[in-house]
């Protein structure tokens, strides 16, 4: 099966970014699936297996420099072998990232060049407003538009009440209720699925993402499992990120469920997600108000009169501290990288001097 680049979302902006690579004889492709050191690429020659060139690998400083699902890349194709060499990643207009799990300070790119992020939240015992706040920070930071999808409506007695609860914290973010069991709510999602648009499907493990993408594809493409008895939680099934082409021409990136979502470089997303709290802090009488014992504190007054929920404010402080800690660790890592860089340059200069 061959692909038209426009069908994959190749627009005038991407075309302009690709012109310098086209002049070198390269072709454009989109990353559809990431393997270990290999990538499935959608190209005008069909599906090709790609790997980065040695020069590319040498210049990559971290995981974030390598191709990710959704990326547009410049390749030299060998369709007769079903292979291609990746020489460069085109500039990304959006990128959903998180910190890798564990103590390592490094970026893991989940999906790139996405227009809309579908944040899937199950309407069962796993429903958690605080977790949604965390996802919204990263969604706003990605550069894409967040949309909340409340799945498994058939397992909830009052889904509209849950939707209202989320709307109070997800300011300005559309919220839609769906059920793959009754096949309801999906017509309301069609405006986001225009031809050439890319949507990333994100959420915790077991919220029903695979069932949703099967519903949109009109076939059983993704494996699904029944929910566990006792807690209504689905079992984790998707194990990799993959780009699908939907029947209406939109593209959707399915992702594995995230058991944890550690923040990554999200100052703007944080402000967008907590604009109500940030607005209150600006109304305090003292510009350096700590919101504790100071007089005429707008934040404490909002907490007392109930216009600001204590749980939301606690989550605001928790994630603000998390971002500050991450920034300190990232600064230390950059200083170490700079030190190592100059050490290597000095070593190279000494070696060159001795060889004369």
Distance CA 123, CA 154 (A): 8
Nearest residue to 73 (alpha-carbon basis) of 17, 23, 111, 35: 17
The pair of structure tokens assigned to 205 is 């493990």
The pair of structure tokens assigned to 248 is 């209406």
- pLDDT tens by residue, the chain, 356 residues: 889 999 999 999 999 999 999 999 999 999 999 988 899 999 999 999 999 999 999 988 888 889 999 999 999 999 999 999 999 999 999 998 876 655 555 678 889 999 999 999 999 877 889 888 888 888 888 889 999 999 999 999 999 999 999 998 888 899 999 999 999 999 999 999 999 999 999 988 888 888 999 999 986 655 544 544 444 444 444 457 899 999 989 999 998 765 556 555 656 767 777 888 889 999 999 988 989 889 999 999 999 999 999 988 998 888 788 777 666 666 545 555 555 555 555 555 566 656 65
Q: Output 344-349 pairs: Cβ under 8 A, ≥24 positions apart.
A: none
Q: Which residues contact 339 (CB under 8 A, 6 or more apart)?
A: none
Neighbours of 70 (CB within 10 A): 26
The pair of structure tokens assigned to 88 is 């460069």
The dihedral built from the CA positions of residue 186, 192, 193 and 199, taken in this order, carries a sign that is negative
The residue count for the chain: 356
3-state secondary structure at position 325? helix
Neighbours of 10 (CB within 10 A): 18
Contact at 8 Å (CB) between 107 and 234? no
pLDDT, tens digit, for every residue of 49-86? 999 999 999 988 888 889 999 999 999 999 999 999 99
Contact at 8 Å (CB) between 125 and 228? no
The pTM is what? 0.75
Phi first, then psi, for residue 192 (nearest 5°) are -85, -10
């Amino acid at each position: 099966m061959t692909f038209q680049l426009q069908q994959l979302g190749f627009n005038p902006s991407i075309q302009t970014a690709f012109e310098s690579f086209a002049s070198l004889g390269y072709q454009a492709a989109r990353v559809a699936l990431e393997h270990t050191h290999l990538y499935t690429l959608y190209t005008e020659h069909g599906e090709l297996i790609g790997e980065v060139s040695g020069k590319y690998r040498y210049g990559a400083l971290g995981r974030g420099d390598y191709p990710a699902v959704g990326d547009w890349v410049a390749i030299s194709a060998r369709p007769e072998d079903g292979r291609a060499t990746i020489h460069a990643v085109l500039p990304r207009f959006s990128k959903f990232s998180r910190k890798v799990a564990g103590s390592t300070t490094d970026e893991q790119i989940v999906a790139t060049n996405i227009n809309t992020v579908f944040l899937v939240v199950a309407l069962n015992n796993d429903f958690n407003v605080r977790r949604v706040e965390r996802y919204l920070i990263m969604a706003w930071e990605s550069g894409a538009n967040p949309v909340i999808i409340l799945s498994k409506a058939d397992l909830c007695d009052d889904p509209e009440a849950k939707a209202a609860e989320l709307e109070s914290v997800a300011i300005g973010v559309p919220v839609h209720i769906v059920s793959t069991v009754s096949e309801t709510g999906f017509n309301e999602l069609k405006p986001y699925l225009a031809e050439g648009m890319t949507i990333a499907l994100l959420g915790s493990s077991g919220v029903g993402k695979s069932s949703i993408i099967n519903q949109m594809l009109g076939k059983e493409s993704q494996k699904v499992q029944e929910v566990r008895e006792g807690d209504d939680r689905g079992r984790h099934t998707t194990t990799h990120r993959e780009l699908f082409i939907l029947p209406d021409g939109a593209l959707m990136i399915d992702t594995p469920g995230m058991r944890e979502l550690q923040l990554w470089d999200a100052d703007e997303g944080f402000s967008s997600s907590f604009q109500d709290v940030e607005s209150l802090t600006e109304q305090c009488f003292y510009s350096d108000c700590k919101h504790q014992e100071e007089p005429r504190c707008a934040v404490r007054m909002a907490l007392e009169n109930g216009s600001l929920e204590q749980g939301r404010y606690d989550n605001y402080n928790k994630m603000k501290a998390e971002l500050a800690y991450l920034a300190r660790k990232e600064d230390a890592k950059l200083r170490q990288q700079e030190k190592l860089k100059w050490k290597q340059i000095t070593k190279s200069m000494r070696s060159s001097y001795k060889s004369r």
